[in-house]
Each structure stands twice: as C-alpha cells, then as structure tokens.
Amino acid sequence: MKVLLLYPEFPDTFWSFKHALKFIDKKAGNPPLGLLTVAAMLPHGWEKRLVDVNIRALRDEDLAWADWVMISGMVVQRDSAFELIARCNAAGKTIIAGGPLFTSEYENFPQVDYFVLNEGEITLPQFLLDYSQGKAQRVYQTEDFPDIRQTPPPAWELADLSQYATMSVQFSRGCPFNCDFCNVTALLGHKPRTKSAAQLIQELDNLYALGWRDAVFVVDDNFIGNKRILKEEVLPALIEWRKGKSGVPFNTEVSINLADDAELMRLMAAAGFNEVFIGIETPNDDSLVECSKSQNRNRDLVESVRQIQRSGMQVQGGFIVGFDADTESIFERQAEFIQKAGITTAMIGLLQAPAGTKLYARLKKEGRLLGEMTGDNGDGSTNIIPRLDLKVLQDGYRWLVKRLYSPQVYYQRCLTLLKTIEAPQIAQKIDFTYARALFRSMYLLGMKGVGRLEYWKLFFWALFRKPSIFPQAITLAIYGYHFRTLADRV
C-alpha cells in the first residue's frame, strides 16, 4: 500500500509566523506531528510520503503514486482542506481524514471516503482491520482515551526538517481544568495522560540524531497537568539528557498556577524551557467566573506572570474580549494589563464557541450561534451573538490590536520583559541562520521599517545592558514585525 499523508495550508495567522519566518529562510513553523505519528502506526512495509503544502505544493505525480490519501488538519486549515480533498477526489483517490477539523465537523466533507476520528491509537487499528476484511465503515469514533505510553515515535524521516523553524513532540494529552470555551477536554478528557520519560527522551534522541539543534515545542495543552510525574521523572530526565548536548531550547503551554510552584519553575528552566504560553484570557474577574477559569482567579495576575519571567521563561499569553460580562472598558483594561505584564506575544481574539464545548451548548440553547468558527484567533471574527454591540466589540478589538502592536508600545513592552526576565539557562544557538536574521532585522527593521528608532533603542539596550539576552531581543523585534503586519490588516 502506498499512502500519501497530506497536510493543508495554514492561512496567514498569528501563530503562522509567516512574516517572521522569512528572516530565517524557513517555510513553516512546525511539522504535522499528528500525521507523522499516524504514519508510524501504519503497517510495516507500507510506503509513505508526506506532502505538507506549507512546504511544497501537491503535485500530480504525488497523487498518481498514491493508493490512499490520509489528510489531517485543524479548523483554521478548513479552506485548504476543501481544495485538497476536491483535487484528490478528482484524481479518484481513496481519502481517509482525521484530526481536530474532521472530528468536529466531518459532516461537511461529503467527498471523504472514510473518517478516522478522535485518537488514532484506538480508531486507526479498527479501521485498518475492517478495511482488510472488506467491511470498513465510513466513520470511526470513540469516547475512550488510549494509553499513550503505547504511542510510537513520530516518523520524522518523512519530513524535510530543514524547512521548519521548530520541531514538535507531545508528552501528555488532556487538561484538569474546565474552561467552558475550550474544546481540549471535550476531545482529550480531563485526566492528563502522559507518556513515560523514556518515550520523551527517545523522541528527542531521534530528532538529535537527525541533526536537529533548534527549538522543540512540547505541544501539550497543559504540560503541568501532572506535576508529580514532571518533578519526579520527566524534568530530571530532560536535565540529564541535556548534558553534553548543545542547543535545543523548549517551549510549551501551561496554566498560570505554574507561578505557585517555585520548584517546578526551577526544574523547567534547568531543563531548557525558555517560553510558556498561558491562557490568561482577561483581567475581568466577572468574565473569569463566567467561563469557569477558576485557576486564574484570586491572584495578582501581573505578579504571577512576573514570577515566571523571573525564573527565566518568557510568558506568551492568550486573551479574549467579548465575554458576556465585558463592558466597553475591557479594551483599555486589556491593553493596560498586557503592557504592564510585559507580555510581548499577546494573542487577542474575540470569544468564539468551538463545537463540543459547554459554551457552544449554552449559546446554541440561547439561539446565539452564528455557524462555525474560523479557527483563526486573530482575524477579528466570532461565531456568537455577543452581549456587547457587535460594532463596539469589533471596533474595540481593532483598536486594541493596533495599539498593542504599534512600534512604540510594542518595543516598550519588549523592554519591560527584558528588564524582568532572567537569562535562559539554554541560550539561543548563534549560527549562520541567526547571523543572517540579525542582519536582515538591522536592514528591514532598523533602516527601512516603521519604528526604526524604537528598534535601535532595544538593540543597544540589550547589547550593552543585558548582552546575555541580546539574541532574545532580536527575536522579539522580528516577531513584532510579524504581529504588526497582521495588525495593520485588521
């Protein structure tokens, strides 16, 4: 059997980093980890080929070669998925689809032959067995959760690693919290399931053996969902693994209660974690109550962010406007909070209701849904009827994004962060790629772009006042270019 693994294109979004990637001559941020893991689950001896259309176009010869096409993606990749499926269908190929996009809305894809949904460790073997016996069903679903200690390492050999800025690994699935707008628990459950420390080390060894020395994103929705196993097994294993190895900083997603655990922050920093993304959502306590974000309440959120920064980890933040409890003051409150906390990478979106969430069910009952969401947290869209006047909400959103990513405000936020944060224990690798990005930033941001004066203030402050974080300062300047480009289009 010849299987073509097909990954749709990401539009130009907050997390695509398309405008930053050109500084380092990369084509995409991350590889399709789900497809590469599925590839490792397919029978031994089958031929496999990956086409990530973010890296290169799908060619006619790819389709002519394949017996099956297996496609996966997220909601934000919907438009590209439709186009690719139509092309595969026209070529007469058997199409098997899975992943978050299809799990939430498979009814919208009548051209797909089979759907292997939820977690593939359970549904893929069932499909393969039925297909081999000539009795395959069209849809395979499950409410069970697999033991991911049995999940094989991704088939990295199928991907052109040189085209990506970051590699991805997964340690756990599921989240112990119950935020009503989040579909993580609907898809993956409340009880965090983890791989073993040995599995994680094996996956990192595989990447290292292939020559990877750059950042690795641990894609867990909440890496600290099981603190005990992190402290006792995983982080000590990562610290030991790092001995004698250069580079490879980590970033991941956590909840704000990381700030309450000094030992955990120390271990994560020692293991090489330089960045964490946190869903902060809002400084409005009434809105936190509304969305059941209990872990963010009864704390000084700015101080929690600073505690994590002082441990050596940059905090990237997710923020939402448009909760029922929000008033017209929320936009200025968000801007003030983000600026004061020094959160340079602040993803701000209007409240959206993903299918399968408690929020979706409530708003459907109230008759306040407007179809499916786009999946793009930064395009200013929403699939709900908000309590705030929609025009007020959208105008306030545009003001907020444009303000936060205006050069003077953004670079000042960078300085706030760099004055607070400790130098990471695993420094950014300084090589030809970094040098090229540095000189391109000096030309495009320091000589041609808007905010030239602010760029040079940041440049020389970091160079002379805190040289250990100078590479981080340049990275932030490049990120700002990407965010500003998107903000100008809102």
User: Domain total for the chain?
Assistant: 3
397 and 458 in a common domain: no
267 and 411 in a common domain: yes
End-to-end CA distance of the chain: 46
Three-state DSSP class for residue 260: helix
224 and 98 in a common domain: no
Three-state DSSP class for residue 41: helix
469 and 406 in a common domain: no
454 and 388 in a common domain: no
For residues 300 and 308, give the distance between their C-alpha atoms in angstroms, rounded to a whole number: 13
230 and 171 in a common domain: yes
Structural domain span for residue 111: 2-140
Buried-state track 152-181, b at ≥16 Cβ within 10 A, e below 16: ebbbbebbeeebbbbbbbbbbbbbebebbb
How confident is the model over 45-73, as a mean pLDDT?
Answer: 98
How confident is the model over 322-332, as a mean pLDDT?
Answer: 97
Return the pLDDT at 428.
67
For residues 416 and 413, give the distance between their C-alpha atoms in angstroms, rounded to a whole number: 5
Residue 154 lies in a domain: no
Return the pLDDT at 420.
96
102 and 23 in a common domain: yes
Structure tokens at 100: 């978050």
Q: Given 420, 446, 466, which residue is the final one in a domain?
A: 420
The DSSP output letter for 143 is: S
DSSP string, 290-352: HTT-GGGSSS-HHHHHHHHHHTT-EEEEEEEE--TT--TTHHHHHHHHHHHHT-SSEEEEE--
For the chain, what percent of residues have pLDDT higher than 70?
A: 99
Query: What stretches of 141-262 adopt beta strand conformation (E)?
Result: 167-169, 172-173, 193-194, 216-218, 250-254
Structure tokens at 265: 């922050």
Residue 480 lies in a domain: yes
DSSP-H helix ranges across 162-246? 184-188, 197-209, 227-229, 235-242
Cα 334–339–345 angle (5° rounding)? 90
Interval 437-466: pLDDT, tens = 999 999 999 999 899 999 999 999 999 999
173 and 322 in a common domain: yes
Side chain identity at residue 209, one-letter code: A
How confident is the model over 390-419, as a mean pLDDT?
Answer: 97
Return the pLDDT at 245.
80
For residues 163 and 169, give the distance between their C-alpha atoms in angstroms, rounded to a whole number: 17
For residue 378, what is the domain's CATH number?
3.20.20.70
Residue 148 lies in a domain: no
Return the pLDDT at 402.
97
Cβ pair 359, 390 in contact under 8 A: no
Bridge partners for 347 per DSSP: 318
Residue 315 lies in a domain: yes
Side chain identity at residue 177, one-letter code: F
Structure tokens at 30: 């991350």
Q: Given 395, 420, 445, which residue is the final one in a domain?
A: 420
Return the pLDDT at 185.
84
**What secondary structure, in 3-state letters, does 371-436 show?**
CCCCCCCCCCCCCECCCCCHHHHHHHHHHHHHHHCCHHHHHHHHHHHHHHCCCCCCCCCCCHHHHH
Q: Is the pLDDT of residue 490 over 80?
A: yes
337 and 189 in a common domain: yes
445 and 352 in a common domain: no
250 and 399 in a common domain: yes
Q: Is 356 left (phi over 0), alpha (psi -120 to 50) or beta?
A: left
Beta strands at 172-173 and 193-194: parallel, antiparallel or unpaired:
antiparallel
Q: Is the pLDDT of residue 357 over 90?
A: yes
For the chain, what percent of residues have pLDDT higher than 90?
A: 91
Interval 259-297: pLDDT, tens = 999 999 999 999 999 999 999 999 999 999 999 999 999
Return the pLDDT at 423.
85
51: CB partners within 8 A, 6+ apart: 4, 5, 6, 7, 58, 59, 62
Q: Given 392, 420, 448, which residue is the final one in a domain?
A: 420
Structure tokens at 2: 């010849």
Q: Is the pLDDT of residue 299 over 80?
A: yes
Query: Which band of pLDDT confidence, cut at 50, 70 and 90, is reported for residue 247?
Result: confident
For residues 79 and 81, give the distance between their C-alpha atoms in angstroms, rounded to a whole number: 5
Return the pLDDT at 21.
97
Q: Is the pLDDT of residue 246 over 80?
A: no
128 and 102 in a common domain: yes
For residues 422 and 313, give the distance between their C-alpha atoms in angstroms, rounded to a whole number: 8
Residue 149 lies in a domain: no
Mean predicted lDDT score pLDDT of the chain: 95
Query: Which band of pLDDT confidence, cut at 50, 70 and 90, is reported for residue 379?
Result: confident
Interval 154-179: pLDDT, tens = 999 999 999 999 999 999 999 999 99
